[in-house]
Amino acid sequence: MSAFSQLRLDGVSRRFGGQAALTELDLTIGAGEFIALLGPSGCGKSTALNCLAGLLPLTAGSIWQDERRIDTLPPERRGFGMVFQSYALFPHLTVRANIAFGLRMRRLPKEETRRRTDEAVRLVRLEDHVDKLPGQLSGGQQQRVAIARAVVFEPSLVLMDEPLSNLDAKLRLEMRTEIRRLHQSLGLTTVYVTHDQEEALSLADRLVVLREGRVQQIGSPRELHTRPANWHVADFMGYRNLWRGRVERRDGARATVESSGHRLLGEVVGDVQAEAEAVLAVRPEDIRVDGPGEAHNALSATVEVVEYQGRELAAEARTDTGLLLHLRTERRIAPGDQVRLGVDPQRLLVYPADAAAAQTNRVPQASGATR
């Protein structure tokens, strides 16, 4: 369906007055790809999407569809489908008329309009609701209408801005599957904005993580999950344990770091030198509780808080030097228990500290490593 083989963003930037909302975004999107733009609130995701859509002019940079420059074209001439968080349906038009609207505007022959509309209705499974008004539909059904309306004219690119954020948790999961199914069955190229890392990991072929308007990392879900490029991305990707420390020694890909009086061995990511400040990152599920004697990274701690989460418990434990650990375990532990914890060095990532590392309270100052 895609009318291009590559869409290229070249140094795309957008300022609002003195403030840079998006800075030099370089990204090449292949036909058929599902790209997620991911990052915390205010990082520039919607700005990037709106620049692509043509709703916001660029301050610098260019956008290319193969050899054709498109950032100078108005939105309607780019031919992209858009789905927003607010469904933006016409309240006085039926489901069918809402979906057919774009085709009518394009003055397609009646027969063709009918055929394509029926097909879109079938794709989003709204056959039983075609004559209803949007007000008579549930939130999930309304979002399906919005999606059908965006794909009915077979756009070369579909842009979605947090399309599921108004839905409840169960519906969000269902619609997530629907969106992926539609993307695949229609051979769409999709750019999808979300602040939900789980949603992005499950949907996208590639993720683009933004922070303060700048790309932090572009990679596959697996790359982002296992090897975040810096501690900010790690923080965003669920590495809840972020500990500040000082590098004692570096041996190739490994480093020994002193943090809160503990000596920990981890895997180096980025420019980490001996004597430098570092941030250690590990996921709660990668901390082992009462495992068989570990050669490395064994810690004794007291359980402080336990939260029941179905099969697993989420817990917080603290070592006697004050290091706080967030962990997940299937073991039945309770507040006050003494536990032996272990972290596989491969799962403990060592990042260079930056100025921001000192400011976050989730990265406590390491004892003896403070200046």
Residues that bind ligand ATP (CB under 6 A): 16, 21, 39, 41-47, 195
Which is nearer to ligand ATP, 161 or 277 (by Cβ)? 161
Nearer to ligand ATP (CB atom), residue 57 or residue 335? 57
Contacts of 134 (CB under 8 A, 6+ apart): 87, 89, 90, 91, 93, 95, 98, 142, 145
CA atoms 122, 128, 132, 134: torsion sign: negative
Find all residues with CB under 8 Å of 12, minimum gap 6, and list them: 22, 24, 25, 26, 48, 51, 58, 60, 61, 62, 63, 71
| Phi and psi at residue 342, to the nearest 5° | -145, 150
Residue 20 or 108 having the CB closest to ligand ATP = 20
Q: Are 323 and 365 in contact (CB under 8 A)?
A: no
Which residue lies nearer to ligand ATP by CB, 39 or 155? Answer: 39
Minimum CB distance to ligand ATP, residue 221 (Å): 20
Tokens of 53: 């859509």
Q: How many residues does the chain have?
A: 371
Cβ atoms of residues 12 and 24 within 8 Å? yes
Shortest distance (Å) from residue 44 CB to ligand ATP: 4
Helix axes 95-105, 139-151, angle to 10 degrees: 20
What are the structure tokens assigned to 252, written together?
Answer: 């190739």
Q: At closest approach, how far in Å is the CB of 292 from ligand ATP?
A: 44
Residue 23 or 113 with smaller CB distance to ligand ATP: 23
* Identity of the residue numbered 171: L
- Using CB atoms within 10 Å of the CB of residue 238, give its burial: 0 to 12 exposed, 13 to 18 middle, 19+ buried: middle
Closest by Cα among 292, 274, 288, 304 to 343: 288
CB of 20 to ligand ATP, least distance (A): 8
CB of residue 209 vs ligand ATP: minimum separation in angstroms? 11
CA dihedral 90, 94, 95, 100 (to 10 degrees): -80
For ligand ATP, give the closer residue by CB, 37 or 99: 37
Closest approach, Cβ 327 to ligand ATP, in A, equals 29
CB nearer to ligand ATP: pick between 85 and 360: 85
Please state the closest distance from residue 40 (CB atom) to ligand ATP, in A. Answer: 7
Question: Tokens 């495992």 identify what position?
Answer: 291
Query: Cβ of residue 143: shortest distance to ligand ATP, in angstroms?
Result: 17
Spatial separation of the C-alpha atoms in residues 247 and 256, rounded to whole Å: 6
Of residues 212 and 285, the one with the C-beta less far from ligand ATP: 212
